[in-house]
Amino acid sequence: MIFPTRSLHLGSIFLLGEGILRNYEIFLEALEIADGLVLLLSALNAISPRIQPHNPTRTEPTALQLAILPIASPIVVPPVGIASILIFIMLAPGYLGMNLAIAKALLVILILNFLVMFFVDNIVKVPGLLLLLQVFGAVLVFVQVVLAVETILDGFRSLGVFSS
């Protein structure tokens, strides 16, 4: 169920994103800064400790509360992914064939995600792989912070706030 939902989310962002941005007159510079902030917050969230408050009187959520809980969409397509897709779509008109390249890249990512989810039971049994993935994930979080700062700086440079 996640794969078709993710495909629908990504497809709608790809098809409607540029029109929405133009309709609301959102410029690439603002999108770059916002993308950088979302990327930075996402990276900081990944490295921050998770503190769970102890609440012994907590009740289980009802079916209606679970249905309207906005947790499914960020898991399926995170805000960082949406922001990145929007930046690529805004840059696409300047490059011949960029829309097709973006669509192909999204399709490859969707297929790889599906394959990993489908074979997750076999993948987690590989000895040492989880430790390797944790180390690799820590490195990628740092790279994500660097990319976030660079994206924010690019947005400010484009606005002429400071020179390169």
Q: Where are the domains of the chain?
A: 2-48+74-159
Structure confidence at residue 39 as a pLDDT band (50, 70, 90): confident
Mean pLDDT of 107-127: 85
Check residue 14 and give its pLDDT: 66
Residue 150's H or E segment, with its range, is helix 129-159
- Give me the helix-helix angle, 79-91 and 2-23, nearest 10°: 50
- Tens digit of each residue's pLDDT (9 = 90 or more) over 21-31: 778 777 778 87
- 57-97 per-position pLDDT tens digit: 667 766 666 555 554 444 556 667 777 777 777 777 778 88
DSSP per residue, 71-140 = THHHHHS-HHHHHHHHHHHHHGGGSTTHHHHHHHHHHHHHHHHHHHHHTHHHHTTSTTHHHHHHHHHHHH
Query: Which of 8 and 24 is assigned the larger pLDDT?
Result: 24
Q: Dig out the tokens for 81 from the structure.
A: 């992914």
Decide: pTM greater than 0.75: no
Task: Confirm if 130 and 124 have CB atoms less than 8 A apart.
Answer: yes
Region 120-128: mean pLDDT is: 87
Amino acid in position 91: L
